[in-house]
């Protein structure tokens, strides 16, 4: 009889408890975190060319979009990869000397990336 009275579980009806993550960090703090995670501490061979380094910047961009913007969507600006790269180049000490050339570096990276064969969708 107990089983007959049980309410069946339906996907989407169970509310997950909200976790208070506190106030969002500042954008410069986020960029600093991402620079350390993806650029400063990447393997040395990834820092040998901008083409390879920009793959790290792209990984940082997706982390920013999937994590920080997902948690605090109204606090952090929506950026495309170029806009994100410009902000990261202006904040990351390793990259600031190249900040004025970010767009040129990005365009070279895009051409390079489009020449690389990939699999999947």
Q: pLDDT tens digits, residue range 7-48? A: 555 555 556 556 767 889 999 999 999 999 999 988 788 778
Domains plus CATH for the chain?
25-115 (1.10.10.1050)
What percent of the chain shows pLDDT beyond 90?
60
Q: Give CA–CA dist 88/6, Å, rounded.
A: 53
The answer to whether 60 and 38 are in contact (CB under 8 A) is yes
Among 38-47, 64-73, 105-114, the range scoring the smallest mean pLDDT is 38-47
Q: Give CA–CA dist 2/26, Å, rounded.
A: 52
Q: Give CA–CA dist 11/60, Å, rounded.
A: 32
Residue 62 banded pLDDT, cuts 50, 70, 90: very high
| 76 Cβ neighbours under 8 A, 6+ residues apart | 24, 27, 30, 64, 68, 69
- The pLDDT of residue 67 is above 70: yes
User: Which pLDDT does position 15 carry in this prediction?
Assistant: 60
Burial class (CB in 10 A: 0-12, 13-18, 19+), 79: middle
- The pLDDT of residue 109 is above 70: yes
């Amino acid at each position: 009889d107990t089983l007959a009275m049980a309410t069946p579980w339906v996907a989407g009806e169970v509310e997950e408890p909200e976790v208070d993550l506190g106030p969002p960090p500042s954008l410069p703090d986020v960029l600093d975190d991402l620079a350390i995670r993806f650029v400063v501490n990447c393997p040395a061979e990834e820092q040998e060319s901008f083409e390879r380094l920009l793959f790290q910047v792209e990984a940082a961009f997706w982390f920013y979009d999937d994590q920080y913007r997902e948690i605090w969507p109204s606090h952090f600006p929506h950026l495309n990869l170029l806009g994100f790269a410009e902000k990261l180049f202006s904040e990351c000490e390793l990259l600031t000397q190249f900040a004025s050339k970010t767009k040129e570096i990005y365009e070279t990276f895009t051409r390079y990336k489009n020449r690389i064969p990939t699999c999947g969708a």
